[in-house]
């Protein structure tokens, strides 16, 4: 079997069972030793060695059964970097890159003269947000917390692989900081925000594969945001930023929560590239 024949087979197979045919290309590149797209295309007429053919066909079958491509290849791209992922963490999404961008822009404007901006990423999962912030702006002193030690193992690996100076903390939301009396300038989080009733309506490739704890926002989707409103005042400095990713219909509600919690703050709801409400950011203490 030549490479182009393998791709054609994968495309037909995945299309027939309702999966994205483009996944075949990603899986072939992985089977070939993580070749670039250009390298793969230049060799489309090359024979696929039996061992690589077997690896490729098994990977396509797995994806057909509902395993995300990223859990098969073991990585996802985020903000131009490759992050290791497995079933213990949510797969980083492009929308979350926009949250990172907004935090970088606003922190640079708001703390122009600061030598250090103490930052915490809550519910870090793969560590994508924390690691990216630390690498993109060395003035950000970044910590990351997660309730699952299994997720922290993944995040620590990504920080080590990418050379990011991030401190990792095992704990529940902002409780570790509250217990020690630590204050920060920036809190950023992409918390679980999907209402439990909607999780069962998600594609099987999400609901049956990605960790439930990273998806479930409780009965109405706001359980973690309500907890944040109780905990944020205990950890944020007087002049600070709180930045959240939200569900497409949750922006105004979370924004109002922040306005009530921090009267006089400047709260903005920001659309993502698909023109859906995706980020809510509060700039506190003018």
Annotated binding site: 123-127, 146, 190-193
Q: Compute how many other C-beta atoms are within 10 angstroms of the C-beta atom of residue 234.
A: 13
Structure tokens at 212: 């439930």
Rounded CA gap, 20 and 231, in Å?
41
Using alpha carbons, select from 57, 70, 15 the residue that is nearest to residue 205. 70
| CA atoms within 13 A of residue 135's CA, in its CB half-sphere | 18
Residues at the annotated binding site for S-adenosyl-L-methionine? 123-127, 146, 190
Q: Helix, strand or coil for residue 117?
A: strand
Residue 200 to residues 19, 203, 212, 221, Cα–Cα distance (Å): 19, 8, 11, 14
Rounded CA gap, 157 and 131, in Å?
11
Rounded CA gap, 176 and 174, in Å?
6
Rounded CA gap, 7 and 4, in Å?
5
Q: How far is CA 285 from the centre of its chain?
A: 28
* Burial degree of 218 (CB within 10 A; 0-12, 13-18, 19+): middle
Residues at the annotated binding site for substrate? 190-193
């Amino acid at each position: 079997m030549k490479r182009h024949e393998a791709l054609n087979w994968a495309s037909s197979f995945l299309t027939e069972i309702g999966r994205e045919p483009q996944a075949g290309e990603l899986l072939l590149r992985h089977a070939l030793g993580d070749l670039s797209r250009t390298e793969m295309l230049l060799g489309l007429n090359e024979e696929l060695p039996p061992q690589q053919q077997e690896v490729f066909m098994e990977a396509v079958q797995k994806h057909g059964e509902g395993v995300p491509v990223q859990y098969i290849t073991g990585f996802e791209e985020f903000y131009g970097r490759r992050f290791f992922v497995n079933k213990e963490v949510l797969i980083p999404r492009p929308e979350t890159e926009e949250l990172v961008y907004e935090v970088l822009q606003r922190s640079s404007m708001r703390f122009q003269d600061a030598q250090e901006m103490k930052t915490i990423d809550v519910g870090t999962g793969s560590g994508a947000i924390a690691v990216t912030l630390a690498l993109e702006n060395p003035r950000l002193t970044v910590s990351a917390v997660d309730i699952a030690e299994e997720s922290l193992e993944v995040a620590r690996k990504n920080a080590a692989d990418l050379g990011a100076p991030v401190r990792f903390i095992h704990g529940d939301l902002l409780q570790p900081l509250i217990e020690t009396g630590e204050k920060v300038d920036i809190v950023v989080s992409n918390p679980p925000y999907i209402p439990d009733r909607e999780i069962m309506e998600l594609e099987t490739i999400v609901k049956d594969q990605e960790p439930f704890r990273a998806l479930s926002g409780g009965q109405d989707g706001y359980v973690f945001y309500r907890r944040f409103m109780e905990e944020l005042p205990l950890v944020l400095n007087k002049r600070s930023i709180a930045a959240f990713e939200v569900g497409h219909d949750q922006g105004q509600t979370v924004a109002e929560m922040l306005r009530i919690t921090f009267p006089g703050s400047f709260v903005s709801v920001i659309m993502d590239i698909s023109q859906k409400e995706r980020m809510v950011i509060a700039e506190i203490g003018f």
